[in-house]
Chain A
Amino acid sequence: MPDSFSLSASRQGSVTVLALTGRLDLDGSREFDRQIKAMLERKDDRIVFDCAGLTHIASLGLRSLLAAVNNSGKSGGRIVFCAAPANVAQIFTIAGFEKLFTTYPDTATAVASFD
């Protein structure tokens, strides 16, 4: 499979920017779930999902994103999205996620929203 999923984290002040790259499919969402669980457990729960590198998203991936936002909210954290490519943004819209997710055009504005 081309462009398998990967995650890379970088710290900007108290916010973690998580770059999601490749295919958020079955395998991708497993990896995603594992990493998010670990982050939320250590209260690393002020997170920006940078979606610029996402090339594909399956309903399993949507479920994982929704669960992450839901779980972080329950424990007082906050997750926002930025830079989703048009194809991926279209899927978010169909799923009705634009009403559930807070989105920003780029990482800078997304990170600044935590101030």
Chain B
Amino acid sequence: MSVTQHIELKSDLTELAKLADAADAFCDANQVPDPDRFAVQVALEEVATNIINHGYQDNHDHTFSIDLSTDAHGLTLVATDNAPAFDPLATPEVDTNAPIEDREIGGLGVHLLKNLMQESSYERRGDQNVLTLTRHLSSHA
């Protein structure tokens, strides 16, 4: 059984609360256990913040969408926006072994995404960025 929840969001950071609430409701409905729920919430916030701040450059006149679904594979989130082409997965990895004085401040968000979600892919589809991330759920492992 896989029911997709479609969430439309404005390109405004105040929408993050709406996203978190919708994701919580989705996790409730699909009985997503806590460690996974937490990881998905962190990933969603990173994805949405990235789209709003970097994709749309804090211009609030745009919209984007997040689709959430679960299947035997895990929980999948698909983020779709029509900002300029940008593959966040292609940004350089942070060096998590660097000493504290040398730690880069950027790049952490994508590093979190790649580690919290076991599958990730990016596609430019027409004028849209489509980022797909899947977390293998503990109960499905």
> Is A66 a contact of B116 with CB atoms below 8 Å?
no
Assess whether A59 is interfacial by the CB under 8 Å rule: yes
Chain A residues within an 8 Å CB radius of B116: 94
Known A-B contacts A94-B111, A95-B108, A96-B97; the reply to A58 vs B103 at CB < 8 A is no
Which one of B17, B96, B112 contacts A1 once the chains associate, using CB atoms below 8 Å? B17
| Min distance, Cβ B95 to any Cβ of chain A, angstroms | 8
Which one of B16, B17, B38, B109 contacts A59 once the chains associate, using CB atoms below 8 Å? B109
| Min distance, Cβ A84 to any Cβ of chain B, angstroms | 13
Contacts of B9-30 to chain A: CB distance below 8 A: 13, 16-17, 20-21
- Describe B's contact surface by its main secondary structure: helix
> Is B35 a contact of A86 with CB atoms below 8 Å?
yes
Contacts of B79-111 to chain A: CB distance below 8 A: 94, 96-97, 99-101, 103, 105, 108-109, 111
* Chain A-chain B contacts (Cβ-Cβ < 8 Å), number: 66
Chain A interface: which size bin?
Answer: 20 to 34
Contacts of A70-112 to chain B: CB distance below 8 A: 70, 73, 86-87, 90-91, 94-96, 99-100
Contacts of A45-81 to chain B: CB distance below 8 A: 56-60, 62-63, 66-67, 69-70, 73
Tell me the count of chain B residues lying within 8 A, CB to CB, of chain A.
Answer: 28
Q: How far is the CA of A86 from the CA of B13 in the complex (A)?
A: 27
Assess whether A26 is interfacial by the CB under 8 Å rule: yes
Chain A residues within an 8 Å CB radius of B108: 59, 62-63, 95
* B 35-74 binary contact with A (CB < 8 Å = 1; else 0): 1001101100110010000000000000000000000000
Footprint of B on A, CB under 8 Å?
1-2, 25-26, 56-60, 62-63, 66-67, 69-70, 73, 86-87, 90-91, 94-96, 99-100
